[in-house]
Structure 1
């Protein structure tokens, strides 16, 4: 069954808005005595909007004659994809009471590139020119929603979250080779998606009302189904709030994605590593 590319974005947005509508009033209705007992490392509502400047290392394995039947293609080394790309990312956290709440995370990696080759080979003493054109594209979408428990009321709190993640892969590698007046075209492409359980841990520390430090980590692991594998994500960062409700966040993040499309015939393997700095505009209420 086909899934529209923005389906999860709509689902996540709907869940977030519905949850905020139900619980937002309660969060704002807390009196001053309750606020004093809540850790200043946490916010009632917290929105992150920014970009993840990634260093990419991506390998796709697919069944195709053009790629020597079951070959692997590294997008950066073989197809000259740029090693660095800014990936948009957004997060939303909000509390229900003082120690529980929801957290949402969404990002999308969308990359495409083409490469032309021209080589001359010697066949039976005769020079023969061969021209090739290769185009690759990869779009990986990830979103998660989790219920989170926070432990601690001082300047340090620790969190544990359980929820679900949605991920989708759309890929294509196509090539055309022309030699001795003959042209041959081959390639592989496809699109697949899956849901999987998501486990999260976190740590927050408040130095004061303006400066905070944090660590986030999450893991997705799925066995069986049409798209199985694991996704790990971790980030260490700092926050600075020069104003009461608006500030900035900076972190260094690492993401490891390894997925396999499980069919009777070997069809797709995706091995992608992302790492690099990320920056956010932060809103808290």
Structure 2
């Protein structure tokens, strides 16, 4: 007489038990920032800058064949210098002038989510809930001359702000395996935090292809779009930041 041992179903070929991806996001950023000055708020126009490479690390662990944990981390570190000039109207009074804006921006972003995978066979749909940690270090200075019909100001102002926050996270994903060694995926995630000294939202979307020329080692190529919009509250000055990224990523992926 033998005892029956319960059998666990194999996971979808679109999923791995454990995987780690290391690579970089080659992004084309569009940058906008705001700094408070003694003469009012100064907002830079949207500026498109040269491509920048952003290191990125991802990891996934599958639990119970249909649940798992996912992790993602990247850091953005860039300096900006550019000039603006032209005319405007403030409080009904015409204003003309020119200014030079300089800024150093550092953003660390990490997210951890628990995912439920729905479906079987070669296609699965995932829903993830978790938390995101982000840390912003933003410094900026404005130097220039502003003229009104009655007077001219030549002055400068600088500001620096460092803070971090934790916010709730939601993720959606779809994965499909053409073969065990050729797969594609679509992912979207959103972080939104209201209140506190640092608030704002971060959205990400990716579509990619995975190819494993070796059983445990493969290449991942995708195209992604991200937006980071942060605002500081509860102080005499603000350091607002709005950055949009779009571009391809390339990863080396190990699965076990």
User: Where do 5+ consecutive residues of structure 1 fail to align?
Assistant: 1-32, 118-130
How do residues 36-47 of structure 1 correspond to structure 2 at under 5 angstroms?
37-47=10-20
* 1:91-133 CA-partner distances (Å, limit 9, x unpaired): 000111201111000011100144589xxxxxxxxxxxxx986
Question: Can you list the C-alpha shifts for 1:107-164, whole angstroms capped at 9, x where unaligned?
Answer: 11100144589xxxxxxxxxxxxx9865311111110011111112200011111000
Q: Distance in 2 between matches of 1:270 and 1:115?
A: 16
TM-score, length of structure 2 as denominator length: 0.83
What's the secondary structure of 2:200's corresponding residue?
strand
Matches of 1:172 and 1:255, distance apart in 2: 22
Partner of 1:102: 69
* 1:272 shift after superposition: 1.2
2:238 corresponds to 1:262 = no
Gaps of 5+ in 2: 1-5, 85-97, 146-153
Flag the structure with higher helix content. 1
**Number of the residue aligned with 1:230:** 201
The correspondence of residues 50-61 of structure 1 with structure 2, limited to 5 A, is 50-61=23-34
**SS of structure 1 residue aligned to 2:24:** strand
* 1:272 and 2:243 are equivalent in the alignment: yes
- In the TM superposition, residue 55 of structure 1 has moved relative to its aligned partner by 1.0
CA–CA separation in structure 2 for the residues paired with 1:114 and 1:71: 15
Aligned partner of residue 179 in structure 2, secondary structure: coil
* Aligned counterpart, 1:23: none
Aligned-pair CA distance for 1:184: 4.9
Structure 1 residue 36: deviation in Å?
Answer: 6.2
Q: Distance in 2 between matches of 1:133 and 1:217?
A: 37
| Alignment check: 8 A CA contact 1:48 1:92 kept | yes
Pairwise CA RMSD: 2.7
Is the strand fraction higher in 1 or 2? 2
Q: TM-score, normalised by structure 1?
A: 0.75
Where 1:40 maps in the other structure, the secondary structure is coil
After superposition, the Cα gap between the structure-2 partners of 1:134 and 1:269, relative to the gap in structure 1 and judged at 3 Å, is closer
- 1:72 aligns to 2:43 (yes or no): yes
For the residues of structure 1 that align with 2:36 and 2:165, how far apart are their CA atoms?
21
Q: Is residue 2:56 matched to residue 1:93?
A: no
